[in-house]
Structures are given as C-alpha cells and as structure tokens.
Copies of this chain bind each other. A is one copy, B any other.
Amino acid sequence: MRHILIIGAGRSATSLIRYLLDKSSSEDLFITIGDISEEHAQKFTKGHTNAKGIYFDVSDAKHRAAVIQQNDLIISMLPASLHMEAALDCLKYGKHLVTASYVSKEMQDIDAQVKERGLVFMNEIGVDPGIDHMSAMQVIDKIRDNGGKMLLFESFTGGLIAPESDDNLWHYKFTWNPRNVVIAGQGGAAEFIQEGTYKYIPYHRLFRRTEFLEIEGYGRFEAYANRNSLKYRSIYGLEDILTLYRGTMRHIGFSKAWNMFVQLGMTDDSYIIPDSENLSYRQFINLFLPYSPTDSVELKLRHNLKIDQDDLMWGKLEELDIFNAEKKIGIKDATPAQALQKILMDKWTLRPNDKDMIVMYHKFGYEIDGKKKQIDSSMVLIGEDQTYTAMAKTVGLPVAIAALKILNKEITTPGVQIPITKEVYAPILKELESFGIHFIEKHTAYMGYNPNNVAG
C-alpha cells in the first residue's frame, strides 16, 4: 500500500481528495488528510477504510516530521508561503512533493539536492499556474516538432460565474478569494511584448486596455493584461518571440465598470480609513469625491467619472447599493480595498445553487514553410456544485493525477519542476479530458497584428 498525505483540506482540495479516494482501492492507496481543523479533515474520509483525517499543524516540526515519514508522497495545498518546512522534511526523508503553487526562490534553491535524492517535487500543477502550462506547452512543442517557429503566444484564464448562475449586471461573482479580485493588477505596471515592442500599462489604465476573445457556444469575453507576461519567455523557451501576452478573462463590460473603482481610488490597500467601522456605504464613496455643500454624491460621481445619464455603468453601481446611507462598512481600520470588498460581497457572493466556470484561451502564432499560421485553443469547464467547483476540479485534478503518476513511476524525472515537459503534460492532459477538461483547437491564418489578415 502506498501512502499519500494531503496537507490542507480547504475549498480547493475537494476534487483532489475525491479523485484519490475513488482510486484508493484499485491503486492500493492510503490517504491521510491533515488539516488544522480535524473535523474538516475527517469530513471527506468518513466511511472510507483507505483514508483518515487528522489534526495537522505544519508549524509543529516534530509532528510534521513524524507524519511525513509515514507517507510516500506529500501534497501541500497550503498557501505558497507555508510549503517550505514540509518541502525540507520531504527532502530529508526522501518523499515526493506536489503543490499547485508558484516555485519560490527557496524551493528552486533545493533543486540540486532534490535531484540528488531522485525525488520529484512537482509545482505549479493547478489551473493557473498548471493547466495553462501544460496545454500551452503541448501545442508549442507540436508546432516546433513540425519545424514551425513561434511568433506569438497569448494566454488568458478566468475564474467566472457559469452562464446559468449569471444574474447580475456585472456578470461576476466571487468564485475564489475576493481579496485577490479587489487588488488584482496592483504593484506595478503590466509588462508584455507585441510584435517585438515592449509595452507597459500602468495600473490605472489596465482595465481600459482590454481585448476581446470569442469562445464558440459561450460568446465574447474580455481580458486585461497580467503584470508579468515576460517571465514566460524563458520558462517556455520563447526567447525570440515577437508577441507574448498573458491576461485575465472577464465577462464583457466588467473591466470598464471595475475601472470606476480604480479611478476613484477605492481599490487602494495602502492606507487605513479613520472610523471605517461606522462609515456608511455612501460616506465611503464620498471620501473619493470632491467636497460640495450643494451636490449629491450621485451627481458628483457621475460628473467625476463622466458617466452619461443613459450609461449602463450607472445601473451596475446602483445594483451594488453603494449610495446607501444606512448600510455600514462595519470593519475596523479598513483600507479602501477592504471596505470595497465588503460592499461587493453583499452582492457577489455565490447563492447555494450557483455554479462557477473556468475559461482558458491560448493563441499561438507561428511560421512554417514560409507561411504564417495561428492556432487558437480554448477550454471551458462548469462546476458541478459549490463543493466540486470548476476551480476545485481544475486546481485539484492535475495535482491528484500527477501525484498518482509519480507514485506509479510514470513521471520519474527528478528535481524541482513545473509541468512543461511532455513526460508530465501528455498523460495528465489526456486523463483530464475524461473529467471534461479538454481544449478545442481552431486553426486559422495568422491573425497576429497584420491588418490584412483581420478576419472579415
């Protein structure tokens, strides 16, 4: 029997746990789920003979080492900053490790030792990062294997509300950490490269420089630029590529409306508002508008943002009830971003039957035999319910599949790594298809940025 330890039984672990439990008999697995809440850990293991849930505090070095020693492979679903102590124990006791997080500097630093011990430390194998790496590299490798030269790579991912649950004017609900949505894009200009030219977009313009993407059967989406597209040049071996752009997908109209909050300064997370607890939503909005003894908050906002009488954006603001003078922020020492998050959570929290949706879209431009061509590849997954969400599936299933394939010695190359080699992505992408996670490819002439090639 092979022993797997899953650390952290949060929302993103549901599909991961179900996959491994379902395989536990046929694959001869024993699953231990360790969580800071024992009840949480045991929720999934009740009635299973091949599984148990235990109290597990990753900062308790003695207990951590003891539990890790009893297992063959460790899956850490903790926040990225908490992986390292478990990783060092895995190295010490010769256990494989799988995480869905970005490779930290500390993690990269132990690569040589991990290799020496013949261990696989697989990271960035969730959805983004994860499925994006695998699905992109599969197409890029195919193009290059056929003798093609990559010209353009654009990649977009979005965690959205499913069409059947989309019932607000923003076409958005929080299907993941709300805080990350409110502060998305902050911390520096977005940087990318288009037709060989570097391009920079400051935060306050990010949500006004979107581009459109069409997915058959799901209509149009929009995307705004991620901060650091350029790091994918070296990761994907695209050093000479002319266009490299990564972005975040939203339903149409979201970004332009979100820009209202950005423009007013309501997404700022760097200072605390005095007496934020007792501020009404209306007073909160008024912090960002000029003082006037004669004009309403409404008119000041309309004038400040130049919102016409018949602009749809106005309805989006009203729907959030931001002009309400009774509702209180109710959070002590809140930053503007925290106060805004509170207002949004009133309206953007999922209802019991709501489903989420993950969308992904890649564009690959390339030249082969003197001809410029393009492949567009897209994936849509809708969640089952609020336990087995599309987010939990796309994050957890690649992790689970990778873990089993490492145990089964189908993935063997040792080292600290991410899923960009054929050994890793090919079998995982294949198995993901049976869970409904599949990419549809569309082959066209190169659309790139050549105006003569624009589709009719």
Contacts and interface: CB of A to CB of B under 8 A. Distances in A.
A287 interface: yes
B451 A291 contact: no
Contact of A194 (B204, B268, B271, B291): B291
A191 interface: yes
Contact of A199 (B198, B205, B290): B290
A81 interface: no
Contact of A202 (B201, B204, B209, B286): B204
A448 to B, nearest CB: 9
Tell me the number of copies of this protein.
2
Interface residues on A, range: 35 or more
Given A189-B271, A204-B204, A270-B188, A197 B263 contact: no
A17 to B, nearest CB: 41
A197 B450 contact: no
Interface in A152-208: 188-189, 191, 194-195, 197-205
A34 interface: no
A271 B188 contact: yes
A204 B287 contact: no
A273 interface: yes
A353 interface: no
A191 B200 CA distance: 28
A59 interface: no
B291 A200 contact: no
A205 B271 CA distance: 17
A291 B188 contact: no
A192 to B, nearest CB: 10
A291 B191 contact: no
A286 B193 CA distance: 12
Contacts of A289: 199
Contacts of A273: 198
Contact of A265 (B201, B264, B270, B290): B201
A198 B287 CA distance: 6
Nearest to A230: B274
A205 B451 contact: no
A288 interface: yes
A385 to B, nearest CB: 40
A82 to B, nearest CB: 28
Contacts of A352: none
Interface in A205-220: 205, 209
Given A290-B209, A449-B291, A451-B294, A271 B191 contact: yes
Given A188-B270, A270-B188, A271-B189, A195 B291 contact: yes
Given A188-B270, A191-B271, A293 B202 contact: no
A195 B290 contact: no
Given A205-B265, A450-B293, A451-B293, A288 B200 contact: yes
Contacts of A202: 204, 263-265, 268, 288
Given A205-B263, A288-B200, A189 B293 contact: no
A223 to B, nearest CB: 14
13 contacts: A188-B270, A188-B271, A189-B265, A194-B290, A195-B293, A197-B287, A198-B287, A200-B336, A202-B204, A203-B204, A204-B204, A205-B263, A291-B449
Given A189-B270, A198-B287, 10 more contacts: A189-B265, A195-B291, A197-B291, A199-B289, A199-B290, A202-B268, A209-B290, A292-B449, A293-B451, A294-B451
